[in-house]
Amino acid sequence: MEQLLNQITALKEEITAFNGGDAETFRIKYLGTKGLVKTIMGEMKNVAPENKKEAGQLLNEFKLFTEAKYSELNEASSKSEIGNPKSEIDLTLPGDNLPLGSRHPISLVKNRIISIFQRLGFAVAEGPEIEDDFHNFSALNLPENHPARDMQDTFYISQNPDWLLRTHTSSVQVREMQKGKLPIRIICPGRVYRNETISARAHCFFHQVEGLYIADNVSFADLKQTLYFFVQEMFGADVKVRFRPSYFPFTEPSAEMDISCLICGGTGCNVCKHTGWVEILGCGMVHPNVLDNCGIDSNKYTGFAFGMGIERITMLKYQIKDLRLFSENDLRFLKQFTSAV
Ligand code: DAH
C-alpha cells in the first residue's frame, strides 16, 4: 500500500511538470491502452484485502487528475493554434482538394436502361460470367456444331465439359426460366466476352442488357410497344424505329431494331453509313425449343426477348466514336460524364 502511495505521488509530480510534448503524446503515455494509468491500476491486485477500498479511491482520484491535465493540454494547444501568429499550423488555410469521382458512362447508361424497364415492371436478374455450355449455347437452341456458334466465339476455361466466358447475358434468361416461376419479366445487365479483334467498333469484352417476358398470350405487338417505349424514353420522342427480319437461333420470328440516326436526323451521314438508320438491338419471340429446354410448356406460354449492347447505346447517346475509350481509364475522357443522362 505504501509503495502504491509513493508511486502515485511520484507520477503526480511528473504529470504536473509535464512539458514533454503535445496533448496526444501525453494521452498515449498516460491514458492510452498501454499507458501508465492502466499499468498502475493493475497494482490493485497486489493490495491487501483490507486496504483495497482506500487504494481504489486513490487510484480513481489519480485517474481523474491525469484526465484533467489532458483536457488542460488539449485546450491550451487549440488556443495556441487559432489566431496565434507563432503557431506552425495555419487553420485558416483551405483544406486539401479531394477530387470527386464520377460514374463510368457505361454505368450511367446501364442504370438509365434499368430504370426505364423497371417502370414497365421488369425486375433485374444477374448470373455468372463463367458459364457452362448448356446455359450459354445448348439451351438457347444452339447445339454443338451449330454454325451460329461461330459468330460468338469466346474464351474457353476448359473443354469437355465446356466452361467458358459467357458470350451474352441470354444465359441469365435460361437460369431464370429454369426456376419455373411464371410469369417472367426480367432484364439482365452484365459483362460479356467474345473472341474478337479489338478495334474502334469491337472489343473482347463489352456489356449487354437483355430482356425477357414470358406469360400467357405475349405477342410480337407487346415486344414492339415495349421497345418503342424504351427508345423514346432513352433518345427522345422524335426518334423513329424500324424492325428488320433477322435470324437468331433462340427466337422465331427474329428481328433487329434500328432507330433513326441521331447524328444526321435520318438524312444520311458516316455514322449511319448514309442509310439514316442505326441498328441498336436484336429481338424476337422466344423459340418453343428454348422454352421446352428450360422446362416451360411451349403450348401454354409465349414470350419475347431482346438484347442490346450498352456500349452501342452509350456511343449513340454521347456521340463517342471509339469503343476502346471505355476501357482505357483515361480520366480526361471519364471526367466528362458526371451526371445521369
Ligand atoms: N444474344 C444476342 C447477341 O448477343 C442478342 C439477342 C438477340 C438477345 C435476340 C435476345 C434476342 O434475347 O431475343 O447477339
Question: What are the residues facing 123 on neighbouring strands?
Answer: 186
- What's the pLDDT score for residue 312? 94
Task: Tell me which residue has its CA closest to atom 5 in ligand 1.
Answer: 307
* Pair 136, 180: CB distance under 8 Å: no
Task: Give the residue from 210, 118, 206 showing the smallest Cα distance to 173.
Answer: 210
- What's the pLDDT score for residue 269? 87
Contacts of 41 (CB under 8 A, 6+ apart): 59, 63
Is 325 part of a structural domain of the chain? yes
Residue 187, Cβ density class (10 Å: 0-12 exposed, 13-18 middle, ≥19 buried): buried
* Pair 157, 130: CB distance under 8 Å: yes
pTM of the model: 0.73
Arithmetic mean of pLDDT, 109-138: 97
- What's the pLDDT score for residue 114? 98
- 156-158 and 123-124 strand pairing: unpaired
Distance CA 173, CA 244 (A): 23
Is 79 part of a structural domain of the chain? yes
Distance CA 233, CA 202 (A): 26
Arithmetic mean of pLDDT, 4-15: 90
| 75 shares its domain with 138 | no
Is 168 part of a structural domain of the chain? yes
| Domain of residue 49, residue span | 2-86
Per-residue pLDDT band for 85 (boundaries 50, 70, 90) equals low
- What's the pLDDT score for residue 341? 54
Arithmetic mean of pLDDT, 6-13: 91
What amino acid occupies position 219? S
- The mean pLDDT value of the chain amounts to 92
Query: Cα of 148 to ligand 1 centre, how many Å?
Result: 12
Is 180 part of a structural domain of the chain? yes
Percent of the chain with pLDDT over 70: 96
| 178 shares its domain with 269 | yes
Is 223 part of a structural domain of the chain? yes
Arithmetic mean of pLDDT, 69-97: 78
Task: Tell me which residue has its CA closest to atom 12 in ligand 1.
Answer: 306
pLDDT digits (tens, 9 = 90+) for 233-271: 999 999 999 999 999 999 999 999 999 998 888 898 888
What single-letter DSSP state applies at residue 287?
P
| 113 shares its domain with 19 | no
What is the number of the ligand 1 atom nearest to the C-alpha of 211? Answer: 12
Is 328 part of a structural domain of the chain? yes
Q: What angle do the packed helices 220-235 and 105-119 form, to 10 degrees?
A: 130
- What's the pLDDT score for residue 90? 80
Work out how many domains the chain is built from and give that number.
2
| 194 shares its domain with 333 | yes
| 11 shares its domain with 116 | no
Per-residue pLDDT band for 108 (boundaries 50, 70, 90) equals very high
Q: What CATH number is attached to the domain comprising 282?
A: 3.30.930.10
| 42 shares its domain with 120 | no
Query: Cα of 60 to ligand 1 centre, how many Å?
Result: 75
Ligand 1 pocket by Cβ (under 6 Å): 168, 170, 210, 248, 251, 282-284, 305-307
Per-residue pLDDT band for 340 (boundaries 50, 70, 90) equals low
Query: Cα of 68 to ligand 1 centre, how many Å?
Result: 72
- What's the pLDDT score for residue 229? 97
Query: Cα of 249 to ligand 1 centre, how many Å?
Result: 9
Arithmetic mean of pLDDT, 25-50: 90
What is the number of the ligand 1 atom nearest to the C-alpha of 250? Answer: 13
Is 117 part of a structural domain of the chain? yes
Q: Does position 333 have pLDDT exceeding 70, yes or no?
A: yes
Contacts of 128 (CB under 8 A, 6+ apart): 166
**C-alpha to C-alpha distances, 81 to 19, 47, 67, 144, 323, nearest whole angstrom:** 17, 44, 21, 76, 53
- What's the pLDDT score for residue 323? 92
| 208 shares its domain with 284 | yes
Of 210, 214, 291, the residue with max ligand 1 atoms within 8 A of its CB, to mutate for a pocket test, comes to 210
pLDDT digits (tens, 9 = 90+) for 180-234: 999 999 999 999 999 999 998 899 999 999 999 999 999 999 999 999 999 999 9
Q: What angle do the packed helices 52-81 and 2-16 form, to 10 degrees?
A: 10
Q: What angle do the packed helices 220-235 and 310-318 form, to 10 degrees?
A: 40
Query: Cα of 254 to ligand 1 centre, how many Å?
Result: 9
| 140 shares its domain with 277 | yes
- What's the pLDDT score for residue 101? 84
